């Protein structure tokens, strides 16, 4: 075989590889087109002590950030918060006020969360070295009702209620794009002062 022909064939293959790589680069760069859309995965919750059992909690909260009025001030913060997915990974029913987010490991109780989410203390933002920093608390009620007969329940008259509480910290630039996001979970039991 002629070495010049072989070189041409190698160049053709290299040209095809470079061409494919050029098409792949824009697709990879478009991954985070929505830096102001964030998710909180619920399954990172520690044991729920006030439930009296270990509760397998799962779900997804979605947050969208933008400029909104909070207690009379226009601030960059959460403009839309939804309990998007429940325990089995499916969308929460839009026709119901609650969504299944947990199952008790001992009792098999079903724990449902209110889709009404609260930001009890409002949103705080400030500028530090040209970068915006914000924080807020997000909470919602979770209820575990006793199992219906004939499925036994060790405490049939006891309705368990607790609140999931997230402390959300975020940073944003001058273009109002979120550059850092962290949500720290906690459980808020009745009588603990945070309820």
Mean pLDDT, to the nearest integer, of 151-160?
80
Please tell me the predicted confidence (pLDDT) of residue 38.
Answer: 95
> Confidence band (pLDDT; 50, 70, 90) for 17?
very low
Mean pLDDT, to the nearest integer, of 159-179?
93
The answer to whether 152 and 188 have CB atoms below 8 angstroms apart is no
Domain ranges of the chain: 1-31, 34-189
pLDDT above 50 (res 24):
no
* pTM for this model (two decimals): 0.76
Q: What is the pLDDT of residues 60-77, one digit of tens each?
A: 999 999 999 887 888 999
């Amino acid at each position: 075989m002629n070495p010049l022909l072989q070189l041409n064939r190698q160049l053709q293959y290299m040209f095809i590889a470079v061409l494919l790589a050029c098409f792949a680069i824009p697709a990879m760069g478009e991954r985070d087109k929505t830096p102001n859309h964030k998710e909180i995965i619920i399954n990172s919750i520690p044991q729920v002590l006030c439930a009296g059992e270990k509760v397998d909690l799962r779900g997804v909260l979605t947050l969208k950030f933008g400029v909104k009025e909070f207690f009379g001030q226009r601030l960059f913060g959460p403009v839309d918060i939804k309990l998007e997915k429940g325990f089995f990974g499916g969308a929460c029913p839009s026709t119901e006020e609650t969504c299944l987010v947990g199952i008790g490991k001992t009792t098999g109780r079903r724990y449902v969360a209110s889709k009404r989410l609260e930001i009890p203390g409002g949103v705080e933002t400030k500028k530090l070295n040209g970068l915006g920093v914000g924080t807020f608390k997000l909470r919602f009620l979770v209820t575990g009702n006793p199992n219906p007969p004939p499925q036994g329940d060790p405490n049939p008259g006891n309705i368990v209620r607790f609140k999931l509480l997230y402390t959300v910290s975020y940073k944003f630039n001058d273009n109002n794009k979120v550059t850092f996001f962290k949500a720290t979970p906690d459980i808020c039991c009745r009588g603990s002062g945070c309820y």
